[in-house]
Amino acid sequence: MAVEFRHIPVLFREVMDNLNIRPDGIYVDGTLGGAGHSHEIAARLTEGGRLIGIDQDRDAIAAATEHLSDVSDRVAIVHDNYEHIPEILRDLGIEGVDGILLDLGVSSYQLDNPARGFSYNQDEPLDMRMDQEGPVSAKDILNTWDAAKLTRILRDYGEEKFASRIAANIVKERQTKPFETTVDLVKVIRASIPMRMQEKFGNPCKRTFQAVRIACNRELDVLNDNIDRITDCLNPGGRLCIITFHSLEDRIVKNAFRRNENPCTCPPEFPVCVCGKMPKGRVITKKPITPSGEELENNKRSASSKLRVFEKISEEEAREITDRRMGRK
């Protein structure tokens, strides 16, 4: 049975306000999903304006293609990972863009679709790949990774206090029967966490499922390794808007934006900068933008979302800032 693609775009008005959409500008949505944000971006474009929508999930590509059919004259849809934005733009002959949106994580469609294995609330085959052709599924991780590697992802990607105990029990359990479905994993998690701690920090399965999902899709590595490359694709004045859903992602974005605003690596005791590293732009959101009370009421899944925005500056402006920091002006 086909599952309807349902997803309410988060921080919708805030994204539109911050992307500074120009009717003739070129924009990239690196996490197209059901095209909730993208449809509005494309609708604001006129002749000359273009939107490039990217998603690694073929179901999202199909849903977005349908949703964007009335604006298809100004849209290019690409099935790929956003880590390849620079190469995708190069292949399309685009030298620079005026705005890029990344709305990270999984869509409600992916979470709610029992075929995808993201949910601990129903019994599903353990998959968790956003890209259905991705090389590593949750099942592969749970049935083959050793205890040390499992502990590391549960601790680093799930911030799970009982990481080593859950990892040891995963390894023990699979000697009797390999992991097949989400319920197999739920049982091991519940058996590994003391009863009195089970609901103390929300559903005890949330952290392990998050960790396995992040590992499966290399989510933090893709983000960390590509923010700078993606920022380099912006025209001066162009903006990078990133929505995150947990502190691990948000920390990566916050630190990358700060570093790109001030990349100076001189010791703090130096009176002026001598490294001469040039900024890429400025941080627009000193504090992240979070959902309004109204949005929280209408969409529970927006609760942990945070939007951070970075604006690219021109080379001349970057040089002026660097000269000032070096005491040359």
Ligand X SMILES: C[S@@+](CC[C@H](N)C(=O)[O-])C[C@H]1O[C@@H](n2cnc3c(N)ncnc32)[C@H](O)[C@@H]1O
| Number of neighbouring beta carbons within 10 Å of residue 117 | 26
Q: Which is nearer to ligand X, 82 or 145 (CB)?
A: 82
DSSP string over 33-56: TT-HHHHHHHHT--TT-EEEEEES
Pairing of strands 97-103, 281-283: unpaired
- Minimum distance from CB of 132 to ligand X (Å)? 10
- Minimum distance from CB of 74 to ligand X (Å)? 18
3-class DSSP assignment, residue 237: strand
Q: Which is nearer to ligand X, 39 or 165 (CB)?
A: 39
Cα dist from 201 to 158, 181, 311, whole Å:
12, 24, 36
Q: Does 60 bind ligand X (CB under 6 A)?
A: yes
Q: Does 107 bind ligand X (CB under 6 A)?
A: yes
> CB-hemisphere CA count at 13 Å for 262?
9
Residues within window 200-259 making contact with ligand X, judged by CB under 6 A: 222
Number of residues engaging ligand X in binding (CB under 6 A): 21
DSSP conformational letter for 277 = P
Tell me the CA end-to-end span of the chain in Å, nearest whole number. 67
What is the contact mask toward ligand X in residues 4 to 23, using x (rule: CB under 6 A)?
Answer: ---x-x--------------
- Minimum distance from CB of 209 to ligand X (Å)? 16
Cross-strand bridge partners of residue 249: none
Q: Which is nearer to ligand X, 90 or 324 (CB)?
A: 90
> How big is the chain, counted in residues?
329
Contacts of 175 (CB under 8 A, 6+ apart): none
Q: Does 49 bind ligand X (CB under 6 A)?
A: no
Q: Which of 51, 68, 82, 238 binds ligand X (CB under 6 A)?
A: 82
d(C-alpha 144, C-alpha 129), whole Å: 16
d(C-alpha 127, C-alpha 142), whole Å: 10
- Minimum distance from CB of 140 to ligand X (Å)? 19
Q: Does 119 bind ligand X (CB under 6 A)?
A: no
**Sheet containing 75-79: which strands, arranged edge to edge?**
75-79, 50-55, 26-29, 97-103, 234-244, 306-312, 281-283
Q: Does 98 bind ligand X (CB under 6 A)?
A: no
- Closest residue by Cα to residue 147 from 175, 118, 125: 175
Taking contact as CB under 6 A, which single stretch among the options 34-42, 205-213, 251-259, 269-277 is the one that binds ligand X?
34-42
Q: Does 105 bind ligand X (CB under 6 A)?
A: yes
Residues within window 135-164 making contact with ligand X, judged by CB under 6 A: none
Q: Does 25 bind ligand X (CB under 6 A)?
A: no
Q: Does 34 bind ligand X (CB under 6 A)?
A: yes
Q: Does 285 bind ligand X (CB under 6 A)?
A: no
Q: Does 33 bind ligand X (CB under 6 A)?
A: yes
Taking contact as CB under 6 A, which single stretch among the options 51-59, 169-177, 228-236, 289-297 is the one that binds ligand X?
51-59
Q: Which of 98, 103, 249, 250 binds ligand X (CB under 6 A)?
A: 103
Q: Which is nearer to ligand X, 14 or 57 (CB)?
A: 57
- Closest residue by Cα to residue 228 from 281, 285, 159, 166: 281
Q: Which is nearer to ligand X, 19 or 60 (CB)?
A: 60
Q: Which is nearer to ligand X, 134 or 236 (CB)?
A: 134
The encoded tokens of residue 127 equal: 């998959």
Given the rule CB under 6 A, which residues bind ligand X?
7, 9, 31, 33-37, 54-57, 60, 81-82, 103, 105-107, 130, 222
